[in-house]
Structure 1
């Protein structure tokens, strides 16, 4: 048997490569490696799932087992890669197991920027970049009435709009002086901000966050002008 094609990453890019490969080649062994559950879901839906009453389970379109069957592949879920030896064409997993490959595809996706924050609650700031992150986020929303969102770009505005459906008051904090500053001209940006404000979103624009501290009943985010949320 020939060495497999190994795809590291089970997001849209990874699984699309796998599907396209199978259109051309039905026989070469194929291994998809994922550090999470490896189920197939639409990542853009994470920022509007609340309004659609979507749970983490219902966001998964196909479980890893179904993807493996459809692709004629081996799907390794919950596995992290420790080292890649390109000379030996070898992938080493955490725990020491190794896998030799014929071809290797890196479909790792992007990680969000972690803003450097001080304070005893800096570790409480959540990033929602995959389904596991969304699960933690949804669990922590129970009983919450106010959520601060660092970033008023596309994803930040989508999350703010989504949180309104849960009766949560979102506050968008951004260095820019308007929302979606990199995507929209001022007139369109202003219209969007007006609509979000009318719906209940609050804004702290032209400011950055510096500290996050635990206080009675929640968290306090200190901003660059000396104020706090």
Structure 2
């Protein structure tokens, strides 16, 4: 019952608003035209001036009544469109709020303990000395890491980097813009690893056109060991943040 009353109120409010928007211009214009016609006919001593003026007023009333009927018919469609638009905006706002809540929830899951636990998992496979190789050509870097278990841990570490509100703002653009979590973590290690574990070399390739391309070649000799140190550092950053 209350919803019906609310709808009728909104219906008549919209109807009156549409009528006013139309009438305030049409009524003024028709009144001025009718008055001007009446004055001109009076000055010419036309005995039909008053009758013509009344006819003009009635005609204007009929036109305005036609506008009212038109607005009466289109008001339900206007209300429907407004409702659809409002619900769409509310749905978009709710979706954005949900995304923000999910990101915050993920961020809250990353704690110093999570990084310490991950460092222990890397340490458990540290004796195997898994290495990762990369090649950078014309600004594009490709990583190769073949061990499945080490790659899985790097995936988790790379995901945690972006989820951490304490660490992600400090990441370089090269690390932050990397879409692959494994490559993101390896780029992070490359930027923070010790010189003893980080190897770098160059290779030049000459194309048939005579153009020379420089390939930057490198490797991290012991990904698990460097990951242990990096995870402990991340744990400290979480505590400081």
Q: Normalised by the size of structure 1, how large is the TM-score?
A: 0.19
Tell me which protein shows more strand as a share of its residues. Answer: 1
Q: Normalised by the size of structure 2, how large is the TM-score?
A: 0.18
Larger-Rg structure:
2
Higher-RCO chain (CA-CA 8 Å, sequence separation at least 6): 2
Tell me which protein shows more helix as a share of its residues. Answer: 2
